[in-house]
Amino acid sequence: MSGQPAGTRGPGLAAYAAHEDRSPGRLYPEPAPTHRGEYQRDRDRVIHSSAFRRLVYKTQVFVNHEGDLYRTRLTHSLEVAQIARTVAGVTGLNEYLVEAICLAHDLGHTPFGHAGQDALNGCMREFGGFEHNFQSLRVVDRLEEKYAEFVGLNLMYETREGILKHCSPARAREIGKLGERFLEKRQPGLEAQLANLADEIAYNSHDVDDGLRAGLLDIQELRQVAIFDELHQAVMDRHPELGGRRLIYEIVRRLIGVLVDDVIDESARRIAEAGPRSIEDVRTAGGPLIAFSDPVASSHRELKRFLMGHLYKHPRVLGMTKKARRIVSSLFDAFNDDVRLMPVGFADTAEARQREQGDGGRARVVADYIAGMTDRYAILEYQRLFTPGQND
Ligand code: MG
């Protein structure tokens, strides 16, 4: 590949991986980068975006100010990218692309994790709802304002395809080519499939870690989950004296290892069976080719169910959820009633959209503003608007 920048092709790129020279490219055509490949450029654009920097102050499960040791959206995104790159390297996929997708996958998340998203979705019900996945695409396509020549980050087609994991049929019809696969029930490229699974591996494993550390989960209780119990037993057999943080970490790192190894093996088997020779073959295959084996998929579901019942529904987490809902809904109502309570740029845009598109246009700008907030900024805005004396 002489004459090509070093990053054009990932190491050992397979025929079924994403190849930038066969890509539909970017929404606004740009000259090719000189020293990087196109997907490397995407990854760099994501890292330099302001939405990416804000992930450090956004909740994953635990509110940011509850402690410095828990995952935030930023550290979560880095863990997802790291897991996905490992799998991509052995599977012949494009590491640069998968990294760009993983780092961007949560850019549209509201403050306060899923509680914030549910609240904002409720506020936006009569205007088409709010969905964090679609919002991540909106951030990279429209909301980031960094470049003179275009709005958004103008990312490659495959990066945007990977970011948009889910999409309602109504939305899919609005967004043209990128939405077609949801209507025609086609698969995305393998890098997108991998980013999705790496996300699950990362959050289920680190939520076990964070939950134990926060004292919301208990090791003995977790042993109801077969895969955790097996790994716990294996560690205790080898290190009978081990306890505390090191025991937890040893189990969690093995858990990630088991899940990653399984994805690599099962995906290799499915790829060999389907024999895709291009990303188009991948997209039209009968189902996903990057996947857990059936037994590991079911153990993983069991772990997920446990976390749902014991961690996400824990009274302390639910208490946070209630507060988050109140903050997000109150902010939405206040800004939607009086757009001048927002910074001048958002207020001007909201008024312009009101004139062009009516109430729904105005509400969407309010939702964009709130979705972009960090946890602590949302709390400060809430105090500014609703705590007597704060405005004096
Ligand atoms: Mg995620």
Q: Do the Cβ atoms of 169 and 268 come closer than 8 Å? A: no
Q: What's the gap between Cα 84 and its chain centre?
A: 13
- Residue 349 Cα, ligand 1 centroid: separation in angstroms? 29
Asked, for residue 326, whether it belongs to a domain, the answer is no
Can you state the angle between helices 190-213 and 244-274, rounded to 10 degrees?
A: 160
CATH of the domain at 292: 1.10.3210.10
Asked, for residue 159, whether it belongs to a domain, the answer is yes
- The per-residue pLDDT for range 261-278, each reduced to its tens digit, is 999 999 999 999 999 999
- Residue 32 Cα, ligand 1 centroid: separation in angstroms? 30
- Residue 203 Cα, ligand 1 centroid: separation in angstroms? 7
Asked, for residue 362, whether it belongs to a domain, the answer is no
- Residue 243 Cα, ligand 1 centroid: separation in angstroms? 30
Q: Do the Cβ atoms of 10 and 93 come closer than 8 Å? A: yes
- Residue 110 Cα, ligand 1 centroid: separation in angstroms? 12
Asked, for residue 276, whether it belongs to a domain, the answer is yes
- Residue 192 Cα, ligand 1 centroid: separation in angstroms? 13
- Residue 146 Cα, ligand 1 centroid: separation in angstroms? 24
| List of long-range contacts for 220-223, beta carbons under 8 Å, 24+ apart | 221/310, 222/306
Determine the Cα angle at 54 with ends 49 and 57, to 5°: 160
Q: Which residues does the chain have with pLDDT short of 50?
A: 1-10, 392
- Residue 133 Cα, ligand 1 centroid: separation in angstroms? 10
* pLDDT at position 9: 46
Q: Give pTM, 2 decimals.
A: 0.93
> What is the distance between the alpha carbons of residues 346 and 348, in angstroms, rounded to a whole number?
5
Burial class (CB in 10 A: 0-12, 13-18, 19+), 255: buried
- Residue 136 Cα, ligand 1 centroid: separation in angstroms? 11
- Residue 46 Cα, ligand 1 centroid: separation in angstroms? 15
Q: Which domain holds residue 123?
A: 20-316
Instruction: Name the token pair of 352.
Output: 């312009």
- Residue 77 Cα, ligand 1 centroid: separation in angstroms? 6
Amino acid at 159: T
E strands present in 231-334: none
Residues with CB under 5 A from ligand 1 (ion): 106, 199
Give how many domains the chain has, as a whole number. 1
- Residue 335 Cα, ligand 1 centroid: separation in angstroms? 28
* pLDDT at position 6: 47
* pLDDT at position 64: 54
Instruction: Name the token pair of 151.
Output: 């709005």
Q: Do the Cβ atoms of 28 and 149 come closer than 8 Å? A: yes
Asked, for residue 363, whether it belongs to a domain, the answer is no
> What is the distance between the alpha carbons of residues 9 and 22, in angstroms, rounded to a whole number?
12
> What is the distance between the alpha carbons of residues 101 and 155, in angstroms, rounded to a whole number?
10
- Residue 341 Cα, ligand 1 centroid: separation in angstroms? 31
Asked, for residue 325, whether it belongs to a domain, the answer is no
* pLDDT at position 8: 47
* pLDDT at position 213: 85
* pLDDT at position 69: 60
* pLDDT at position 390: 57
* Residues near 320 by beta carbon (within 8 Å), at least 6 away in sequence: 62, 63, 66, 112, 115
* pLDDT at position 218: 92
* pLDDT at position 65: 55
- In angstroms, the Cα distances linking 54 to 59, 301, 325, 376 are 11, 31, 20, 11
Asked, for residue 356, whether it belongs to a domain, the answer is no
Asked, for residue 152, whether it belongs to a domain, the answer is yes
